[in-house]
Amino acid sequence: MKRGVSILGASGSVGESTLKILRQFPEEFRLISFSVHSNLQKAESIAKEFQPDVLCISSETADRTILGNKIGNTKVLYGSKSLEEIVSDPECETVVTAVVGASGIRPTVAAIRAGKKIGIANKETLVSCGPYIRSLLENSKSSLVPVDSEHNALFQLLENMKKDSLERIVLTASGGPFRKLPVEDLPKVTIEQALKHPTWNMGPKITIDSAGMINKGLEVIEAHFLFGFSYDKIGVVIHPQSVAHGLVETKDGASFVYASYPDMIFPVAHSLYYPKIVPNVLRSHPATSWGTLEFLEPDMERYPGLALAYEAGRAGGTAPSIFNASNEVAVELFLQGKILFTDIPSLIRNVLEKIPNSFPNDLEGYEEADRKARELAFHFSKDKVVNLC
C-alpha cells in the first residue's frame, strides 16, 4: 500500500524537493494533501498533476473565486486553520512541514497530536517552543525526522553511534555571500547581494538568515531540542563547499562526517522512507569529485546574530521564541528596504533585552512571547534601528 504524504509549503524549495521524490517513487508514496500560502497558479498545477484529496491555501486574504472549492476531485480549503485539518487526515502517514516561520507551529502540534511521522523542515517550531514540543512528543506516537540537511546528517550519524562515545556535534555552514567582505562594508550590503546564496537555492527569508548566519543560530537551538546536547556541546564551522553537512566528534578524538552533494532530495528522501532505507541512488557524487574541503571557525564580529542565538538558547524559556520572532520582523523590514542588513542583529538584541524571559507550561505562553516580540520589533523599526547597539 502506498504511504500517504502531506506537504505543508509545497511551493517552496523543500516542498519542491519532496514533490521530486514523489515523482521518482510513485509506487511508494501518494500525495494526500498539500498547502501553499498564496501561489494559486502553483497550487493548481500541483493539484492537477498529483490529484490529492485536499489542498490548502493558507493565506487569509487569497481570492477564493480563482480556484473555487474544487479542482477536479481535489477539495480546496482556505485559511491557516486548514493546515491543522489536513495534517490530521487518517490516510496521511508522513507530514513534511516546509512552511517558513512561526506559522508552522500550530499545524506541527496538530500532526504530533495525530501521531504522524513528521519530516520537520520548519525549524521555528522547535526554536520557538522547544520545551512544549518535547513534552508533547513524550506522550505521542509521533516522531520527528529532521529534513534540514545539517540536522538530517547528524540524525543519521547519531543513530548509528553509542551514546557514551559522543563528545560534541557540529553543524556546517557555507558562511553566506559575505564571508570575505570587510566587516566595515556590511552596512552597505544591498538586498540583491544578500539574496545571492553561494550554494543553496532557498526562499528569501531563509537566504537572508543565511547571509548573516542567523539561520545557523536557529539550527543550533533546533539541534539542542532534537538531540539533547547542551549548547557547549554544539559547534558551528564554516564549510564553503557545502559537501559535509554534519560532524560528530567522539571522546577518543575522532570525528565522523556525513557528506553528500548539496541537494535537498537526500534528506527529504531519507525522512520519507525512514525507518526504511532509500532504495535507489538519487545522485552519484563520489569522493573524488569533492575537491578541497575547508573548515573554518566563524567570526562572531562578522556574524553577531549567531552569537545572539547561543545567548538566547542558553537563557532558555521564551528567549529563543523572542529571538525568532524579532528576527522574522527584522528580515521582513530589511527586504522592504526599511533597515540595514546590520540592523537585523541590533533589533534582535534590543527586543531580547526589553522583554522579560519566562518559562511557560503551555503553547499560549510561547505564542504570547512571540506576539510581544513582533510588536516591539515593529516599534523599534519606527524609531530608526540603526546603531541601536
User: Is 148 known as a binding-site position?
Assistant: yes
Under 8 Å between Cβ of 211 and 197: yes
Q: Is the peptide bond before 275 cis (omega within 30 degrees of 0)?
A: yes
Query: DSSP assignment, residue 186?
Result: G
How far, in whole angstroms, is CA 39 from its chain's centroid? 20
SS3 122: coil
User: Is 147 known as a binding-site position?
Assistant: no
User: Is 215 known as a binding-site position?
Assistant: yes
User: Is 367 known as a binding-site position?
Assistant: no
User: Is 12 known as a binding-site position?
Assistant: yes
**What's the CA angle centered on 312, arms 95 and 215, to 5 degrees?**
50
**Residue 385: C-alpha distances to residues 40, 350, 389 (Å):** 36, 9, 9
Q: Which residues pair with 94 in a beta bridge?
A: 5, 117
User: Is 17 known as a binding-site position?
Assistant: no
Block residue for cell numbers 562515545: 165
User: Is 39 known as a binding-site position?
Assistant: yes
Q: Which helix (H) or strand (E) holds 238?
A: strand 234-238
- Helices (H), strands (E): how many in the chain? 15, 12
User: Is 219 known as a binding-site position?
Assistant: yes
Tell me how crowded residue 384 is: count the other CB atoms within 10 A of its CB. Answer: 11
Taking the alpha carbons at both ends of the chain, their separation in whole angstroms is 58
User: Is 294 known as a binding-site position?
Assistant: no
Under 8 Å between Cβ of 257 and 245: no
d(CA 373, CA 366): 11
Block residue for cell numbers 545539517: 150
User: Is 150 known as a binding-site position?
Assistant: yes
| Residue set of the binding site | 12-14, 39, 122-124, 148-150, 174, 197, 203, 210, 215-216, 219
| Residue set of the binding site for NADPH | 12-14, 39, 122, 124, 203
| Residue set of the binding site for Mn(2+) | 148, 150, 219
| Residue set of the binding site for 1-deoxy-D-xylulose 5-phosphate | 123, 149-150, 174, 197, 210, 215-216, 219
